[in-house]
Structure 1
Amino acid sequence: MTDQPSKSRPGAGPGVLPRDGFALAAGTLTILPTPAPTAVNTRVAGLAMIVGPLVMAPVALVACLIGHLVAAAGAPPLAAGLVTIGMLLIGTRAIHADGLADTVDGLGASWDRERALDVMRRGDVGPMGAVALVVVTMLQAVCMGAILENPHGWVWAAVLVAASRSALATGTRRGVPAARPEGLGEAVAGAVSWLRWGVTWLVTAAVVVASGWAVGQSPVIAGVAVLSAAVAVEVFLAFVVRRLGGITGDVLGALVETAATVSLLVATC
């Protein structure tokens, strides 16, 4: 997640906020064909960061349905899980995976803040980033395959994947600074109020628990999955802000992958 949204065009008013917020979210987080936003400002960016789960939902449903069909055809669970994760990577241009790899490379390259940010800015994947991608992808695929074995597991998996985008609200919550004065991190840093952040996670938890119950999953496990993901994101964010001084677009991608991995892992318990 490294692209910076364009600045507001003169004359763009509050009336374009909902459309622009959804357009910015869909255009940044997915490959869905989306018209460019007519304005990008703090309000638009804040909305984009809290509607991530909504714009991700159709991509997640299609990817998980394909994985379900692969599993129904008799493929091993791991194969079905890998297909699903592969489709999710395509549906998101692997933007979050790229952010995870760059963040791990930067954090592992040096304890010096500027050196770490420089490594992240270059964007080429080093050994630590590659290992992180392999471990996270395989862990997600194994968990996904286990969930897809259940009759309605693909719906449950899709909800969990979409819900992981609530991590964006945490990363762009008011009070969290940008690590450098350019890029997506600077454009969205602090754009989400504490109230909207809290509502985002409460709605996420309610949807995950309700959908889990509807497809026969334990509401307790569903609730713990959301709580665990939220806590993991908070811990990772605190560590990164301490190391880098704030967020970048890559960090936001890493937070999403953290939330997705933790929630999928807990959901298989």
Structure 2
Amino acid sequence: MSVAVVGRSLRLSIGMLTALRVPAVLKVSPAVATGAMLLAPLAVLPLGALVGLVVWAGGRLDLPALALAFAALAVLAVGSRALHLDGLSDVADGLTSSYDRERSLAVMKSGTAGPAGVAALVLVLGAQAAALASSVSSGGEVRSAVVAGSAVCASRAALWITACTLAPPARPDGLGVTFTRRVPVVVTVVGWAGLAALAALVDPVRGPVSVAAAALVVAALTAHAVRRFGGVTGDVFGAGIELALAVLLVGLAGA
């Protein structure tokens, strides 16, 4: 992969996954799309740093842990334009609306949040906030900030699973055509193994176990989406990221 392709891939990934303004990538080649998926954890480094800064500053000011956790998640939602939360809500509504594939896809595309979508947001955001609050309460400001920021970046590796070559697009148009089936399975496995090794620096047992659990949850979501929808969509990408973040934060809380 050339330097120019890496640069375009990084710009594309930042533009898709954050609210940061970067020069638009006008032509998305297969190589650029693949690179954008692979560079997702790196692309959100500014968001991870910002979340870590909020956690660190709030800890130094001795703010209530739960309020601080929700503030950090609010910053993350604004920084990502809440796209992943929208995906989580849409997937929950699609999975519970009907066993008919076309009906489920239509519900997901409508953009309105139903009862299942709202419940999914409350439960997943609640788990993220509770875990982050526990981490803030049980550890120092710096350690909590590093864990929170790292979890944000690592959760974007969910795209290595949802965009792997085993998961076809659910629709013949849209995000799926461009970004699905881009990441080779071996790259996905090696990448997540690398994350597990890095997580061992936080805790030699809970770190790798948390990463493995996050990967399994995203893989299960992807497999279920393929069975129910015939493939994955941009909403599944977002749902995978939010679920991965929840699992990582819960697993690493107090580690």
Instruction: Pick from 244, 252, 258 the counterpart of residue 243 of structure 2.
Output: 258
Asked if 1:172 is matched to 2:160, the reply is: no
Instruction: Provide the secondary structure at the position in 2 that maps to 1:136.
Output: helix
Map of 1:89 onto structure 2 = 77
Map of 1:37 onto structure 2 = 25
Instruction: Provide the secondary structure at the position in 1 that maps to 2:44.
Output: helix
Instruction: Pick from 179, 191, 202 the counterpart of residue 188 of structure 1.
Output: 179
Instruction: Pick from 192, 202, 205 the counterpart of residue 196 of structure 2.
Output: 205
- Aligned equivalents of 2:218 and 2:157: distance in 1? 10
Map of 1:4 onto structure 2 = none
Instruction: Pick from 56, 66, 90 the counterpart of residue 102 of structure 1.
Output: 90
Instruction: Pick from 232, 237, 241 the counterpart of residue 226 of structure 2.
Output: 241
Displacement of 1:69 in angstroms is: 1.5
- Aligned equivalents of 1:26 and 1:104: distance in 2? 26
What amino acid does structure 1 have at the position aligned with 2:207?
A: A
Asked if 1:114 is matched to 2:102, the reply is: yes
CA contact (8 A) 2:169 2:233 kept: yes
What amino acid does structure 2 have at the position aligned with 1:232?
A: V
Post-superposition CA distance 1:80-126 (Å, at most 9, x none): 11011111101111111010001101111111100000000111111
Displacement of 1:42 in angstroms is: 1.6
The number of equivalent residue pairs is 251
CA contact (8 A) 1:163 1:208 kept: no
**Structure 1: unaligned runs, 5 residues or longer:** 1-12, 213-217
CA contact (8 A) 1:16 1:38 kept: no
CA contact (8 A) 2:51 2:148 kept: no
Map of 1:6 onto structure 2 = none
**Structure 2: unaligned runs, 5 residues or longer:** none
Map of 2:43 onto structure 1 = 55
Within a 5 Å distance, the mapping from 1:123-134 to structure 2 comes to 123-134=111-122
Displacement of 1:15 in angstroms is: 5.9
CA contact (8 A) 1:22 1:48 kept: yes
TM-score, reference length from structure 2: 0.94
Map of 1:28 onto structure 2 = 16
Which segment drifts farther, 20-29 or 198-207? 198-207
- Aligned equivalents of 2:3 and 2:70: distance in 1? 42
Query: Identical aligned pairs, as a percentage?
Result: 37
> Structure 1 residue runs of 4+, over 4 Å off?
none
Displacement of 1:195 in angstroms is: 2.8
Displacement of 1:16 in angstroms is: 3.0
Post-superposition CA distance 1:28-70 (Å, at most 9, x none): 0011221112430221111111111111122112122113322
